[in-house]
Structure 1
């Protein structure tokens, strides 16, 4: 099994905010996304880029560090990529990806600019065209030069471009979210759910985290540190799920079940596919335990 990296909570942090970059060292987020795009005003783009790259080089412990650059067709995108390649974060988050060709262009530049192989590429799926092209975009992961390893849903931009209302339950958004999720899973990459905008609505936030977890997302993107604890809890296996996973694996390891395709565990029939799912639950739980938060 490919090593699992927990991505329960992925917190956006504005690259122009010095205090936020420093505070990030104390937060229990699995992933930190330092933003050079939407959260930074045009006259602050250059200074934010320098500040973020310095912060990336200084390290953030076991936290995964990702930098969201400006798109290549903006005045800042190419310079962002050159600087970020040198800083070597865990990943570069590319906004408004609507075709696989964009990822090829990013991957080619990362190699040319000397980015280490461990620096991966994440793609924002946030336009109607990206949804229509989700399979093609995800298939770029099979081209090692693109470095694609994760989709990030941009639900606010999707709502803007489609004129969809972001209502409780996200009924209108569900087909697009699930289309992107199916594409990601088909090509073996992770996918993170979009942000929740109502900071004071803790109950609504938890419900949306639970919805995203149940739909199959690996974690949720966040806009405030107060959302971290809930996301970490919801997207982690529960003690009951860990116990059940251990029981399933133990059942198939018994000599009398060595050649069976299905066995009874705690009053229900489970197949070997459930054993594979159980192994992932235990691997995720172990990876979270190693984080220490």
Structure 2
């Protein structure tokens, strides 16, 4: 089982705003997405690209995961964006409005041709009706693809729908995306919550996203980071239960027993694997936050 990487919160940062980019050095987001697309006007695209690549290359925002959202495939800035990010030292490149496995493969091949390091991962945005209908195909395309990012604003707009509490109109699309990501073993991040002053609304949507199976949430304001981290990180109760499950499994293995019962419930191998995943994630969160893992950790088998 692969070791997870904390992606509870991924904060979008406008690539042309020096003050915001500097402030982000102190923010507790797991990932920072430096945006060259929606947040930057046409006249500022090239200067924003240079600024973002300089900031990423400096390493000042480490140990957070650093991702650059480039302009879309059909724009005149896309190729230059991709080439610049390929040599910037970023951890990932996020491409908007990806709609097919072919595009994923072509993007991976383009990064290879540009000489991008092997650890530069591809993130793609699933945000159009066609992309949601082909979520499994996109997620299974292979190459450098590691993360799917949901774009709920574009989806609602394309559907001529409305943003409503509970997101009932788009729940089928979100479910398709999660199913597609999980079938291919990819990470998937929930879309943004637009009402930055509505703390309770954000908490409700984060809880819904966690219950649906998302790994984290993209956020647009620093005030949303802590609630996202809390909503998508394992709770103390979950960590304690996971330790109990793994300990019971290890005792049973040592004793040659095949039946494991924890708190009156039968435990199967799938429960053990999930408990190991939770403990590994908790360890990595602690290391990212404090620079050291917690005292009790379990390495996934």
Go from structure 1 to structure 2 and tell me whether the alpha carbon gap of 1:179 and 1:83 turns closer, same or farther (over 3 Å shift).
same
- Within a 5 Å distance, the mapping from 1:164-183 to structure 2 comes to 164-183=161-180
What is residue 149 of structure 2 aligned with on the other side?
A: 152
- For residue 40 of structure 2, give the secondary structure of its aligned residue in structure 1: coil
What is residue 262 of structure 2 aligned with on the other side?
A: 265
- For residue 284 of structure 1, give the secondary structure of its aligned residue in structure 2: helix
Q: Does residue 1:6 correspond to 2:3, yes or no?
A: no
- For residue 12 of structure 2, give the secondary structure of its aligned residue in structure 1: strand
Go from structure 1 to structure 2 and tell me whether the alpha carbon gap of 1:257 and 1:80 turns closer, same or farther (over 3 Å shift).
same
Q: Does residue 1:200 correspond to 2:197, yes or no?
A: yes
What is residue 225 of structure 1 aligned with on the other side?
A: 222
What is residue 238 of structure 1 aligned with on the other side?
A: 235
- For residue 75 of structure 1, give the secondary structure of its aligned residue in structure 2: coil
- 1:15 & 1:266 partners in 2: Cα distance? 50
Q: Please, what TM-score do these two structures have when normalized by structure 2?
A: 0.93
What is residue 28 of structure 1 aligned with on the other side?
A: 28
- 1:271 & 1:259 partners in 2: Cα distance? 15
Q: Does residue 1:121 correspond to 2:122, yes or no?
A: yes
- For residue 260 of structure 2, give the secondary structure of its aligned residue in structure 1: strand
What is residue 42 of structure 2 aligned with on the other side?
A: 42
Go from structure 1 to structure 2 and tell me whether the alpha carbon gap of 1:178 and 1:257 turns closer, same or farther (over 3 Å shift).
farther
Instruction: Check conservation: 1:252, 1:258, Cα contact below 8 A.
Output: no
Q: Give the deviation of 1:163 after TM superposition.
A: 1.2
Unaligned ranges ≥5, structure 1? none
- 1:75 & 1:26 partners in 2: Cα distance? 34
Deviates more, 1:250-259 or 1:152-161: 250-259
Unaligned ranges ≥5, structure 2? 291-301
> Residue by residue, what CA displacement relative to the aligned partner does 1:87-114 show, whole Å, maximum 9, x if unpaired?
1310000100001111122111111111
Moved over 6 A (4+): none
- Within a 5 Å distance, the mapping from 1:18-167 to structure 2 comes to 18-59=18-59, 60-141=61-142, 146-167=143-164
- For residue 173 of structure 1, give the secondary structure of its aligned residue in structure 2: helix
Instruction: Check conservation: 1:82, 1:113, Cα contact below 8 A.
Output: yes
Instruction: Check conservation: 2:252, 2:259, Cα contact below 8 A.
Output: no
Instruction: Check conservation: 2:252, 2:260, Cα contact below 8 A.
Output: no
> Residue by residue, what CA displacement relative to the aligned partner does 1:63-97 show, whole Å, maximum 9, x if unpaired?
00000001121110011111111113100001000
Q: CA RMSD in A?
A: 1.3
- 1:92 & 1:242 partners in 2: Cα distance? 32
Q: Give the deviation of 1:178 after TM superposition.
A: 1.0
- 1:202 & 1:17 partners in 2: Cα distance? 25
- 1:257 & 1:87 partners in 2: Cα distance? 49
- For residue 172 of structure 1, give the secondary structure of its aligned residue in structure 2: helix
What is residue 181 of structure 2 aligned with on the other side?
A: 184
Q: Give the deviation of 1:252 after TM superposition.
A: 1.5
Q: Does residue 1:252 correspond to 2:249, yes or no?
A: yes
